[in-house]
Amino acid sequence: MCGILGGTSLKIKNEKEISLMLGALKHRGPDGSGIFLDKKNRVFLGHQRLSIIDLSDKAKQPMRIITNPPAGGSVAKNKQECVITFNGEIYNYKEIKKELEEKGYKFKSDSDTEVVLNSYLEWGTKCVEKFRGMFAFGIWDDNKKKLILMRDRFGVKPLYYYFGGSDFIFASELKAICKFPGFHKEINPEVLPLYFHFGYIPDPYTIFKNVFRLEAGMIMEIPLPFNSFNFKKEKYWTPEFYFNKTQANIDENLREYSEEKIVNDLEKILKESFEYRMVADVDVGVFLSGGVDSSLVAALLQKNSSKKIKTFTVGFEDEKYNEAPAAKKIAEFLGTEHHEYYLSSDDLREAFEQYAEIFDEPFGGSSGLPTYLLAKKAREEVKVALSGDGGDELFFGYDKYQAINKIINFPSIINSFNLKILNILGPKAASNIYNIFSKILPLPKYSNLREKLSKLSNLLKGKNLSEMFDLASSYWQNEEIYDLLGNSGRTNVFHQNYDLDFKEQMQVWDIKNYLSGDILVKTDRATMAQGLEAREPYLDYHIWEYFSKIPNNLRYKKNSSKYWLKQVLYKYLPEKLVGHQKFGFQAPIAEIFNNSWGDLSEKYLNEDFIKKQGIFNYQFIESLKKKRETGQYINPDKLWILVAFQMWYEKWMN
């Protein structure tokens, strides 16, 4: 795990300028750094190293290979020169290395980086199809005079790029691009509605004009000399490809699959994926929340380990957010070496103050706060930690799927009923009606009745799946965004695909957007800020390819959240431990606002600050402040998304 950068520019004349950019990524790789500069071609690569596999200097980057074809080998017939800067891990690198050695390749290190570079020499960009892991890397191919960028299938590892005129720059994080001498920070107003709607900015957009994120499962080729029109992007993997839609194939699959077979097959694939993520030359631990996903990771790994694995969890005094007791019971049953940390108000204040430094573009996921603190504690014991990220997206884990499924099956007369009338019925009638609908719509426990009813009302007004899913995935609604920004913009990035079942459509959307733009961003930035490598064992494409081919009526059996993961977990844990209700890894934002709203409001939402920005309608913000100050309810998540933006703006735009 590392920090990478590179590009081509006439403005980069020496290593000092590259070092300045590279310094912004030092937290991602505190174990060493390296620079490659080809002055003739105006190409440079930089690398900050976090040593995980092959800790020796032989694995240092950027790594350069100049090769002649070995006798009897199958490498290119002509001499080749390539240089790579690589971030991530290829878990099956030893198998690929063996295949390359049989073709005549020689290796100087035991690193996966050298395997990636030789794989490119042998198979070109098709090499990416062999890689099983998480990665983002740039290769300078001197023979072809091309920069090649690749990103893993699910987007676990970040990769940003900027182009302006004849300049092309890529990096692991925006903060490195901001250090490029020719970069001008200019907010892209078109993405602001997306941020306030979703709480993050989805790929390929970023907060700045002319800066983008390379999408997951993408290859990008930049020929030299560069201009903004001559690069090429190619998608090599997409999650929806594996859904099996023909009736003949479905019938065949139904004959092949039984519940026992699915559980056994899935257990085998999960076990293989989880064990791959333990490959390292340093200590590895597991984030254990007490939910199904992380519990299964810990259970499978501990069952097949000769020593106790290390598990880590954080807790809160507030029971609404505290999963530590459940995690502790699971750890005790499994026999792990468990580390439990209760977070104090001082801990949260520290994370709050570091938030804008960690997330160098606006990010509204409050779970970044406890993740950062968990990573800090875990880093004292291990250098790598496995998370449960991806389990919800791959295994139908979000309650909104069940909610929309029930709403779609409502009688049409209910869909046309406007629940806004509940606002004038009075609290008793509203409460009675809410009790009827409460099992349909999952909402945070700290939301008040009116907020829940308002969201239910909005969902019922959705004319189709696209509108309903958009509303279910949103924080600020379009009319609120319009009041805030004066323009609601394009917020709906969900496009219905009528070739897929509606659950499949929602699942694919979450994998491509929410997982990549929110969950993985949170985990990557929060852990790398502490020099800790996070690995996501559920995000192995072998798992998805198997599970997505199972017919719908089996894949979504009983319309139950993570049904199949639970069946596997029941082999390792008693059902009473699996039955724990997961809250979601959230910080107590409502409580933070209760304790410090005055200071936050004065610092980030004062009239001078707002008007100097020229982004927001101050009258609308003033109305929000008055509601809050007079005790009227405002969803704290909405306020957090606004404050998080202001914290980012103060840090990065001043």
Catalytic residue list: 2
Q: Residue 520, by phi and psi: left (phi above 0), alpha (psi -120 to 50) or beta?
A: alpha
Residue 567, strand partner residues: none
DSSP single-letter state for residue 10: T
CA 479 to chain centre: 28
Q: Please tell me the distance from the alpha carbon of residue 461 to that of residue 325, in angstroms, as a whole number.
A: 40
Positive/negative CA dihedral, 4, 116, 270, 516: positive
Alpha helices for 179-246 (secondary structure H): 192-198
Give burial (CB, 10 Å; 0-12/13-18/19+) of 449.
middle
DSSP single-letter state for residue 635: -
Alpha helices for 367-485 (secondary structure H): 368-379, 391-394, 399-408, 412-415, 427-437, 449-460, 465-472, 478-485
Closest among 42, 38, 37, 41 to 18, alpha carbons compared = 37
DSSP 95-149: HHHHHHHHTT---SSS-HHHHHHHHHHHHGGGGGGG--EEEEEEEEETTTTEEEE
Residue-level length of the chain? 654
Contact criterion met (CB below 8 Å) for 206 and 212? yes
Structure tokens at 633: 């309810």
Contact criterion met (CB below 8 Å) for 83 and 64? yes
Long-range Cβ pairs for the range 481-484 (8 Å, 24+): 481/193, 481/196, 481/197, 483/617, 483/620, 484/196, 484/616, 484/617, 484/620, 484/621, 484/642
Closest among 268, 343, 275 to 309, alpha carbons compared = 275
Q: Please tell me the distance from the alpha carbon of residue 157 to that of residue 288, in angstroms, as a whole number.
A: 22
The CB density around residue 602, as the number of other CB atoms within 10 Å, is: 11
How many DSSP H helices and E strands does the chain contain?
28, 17
Contact criterion met (CB below 8 Å) for 50 and 385? no
Q: Residue 494, by phi and psi: left (phi above 0), alpha (psi -120 to 50) or beta?
A: beta
| Run of H or E including 66 | strand 63-67
Q: Please tell me the distance from the alpha carbon of residue 188 to that of residue 182, in angstroms, as a whole number.
A: 18
Regarding beta strands 232-235 and 218-223, do their DSSP bridges make them parallel or antiparallel, or are they unpaired?
antiparallel
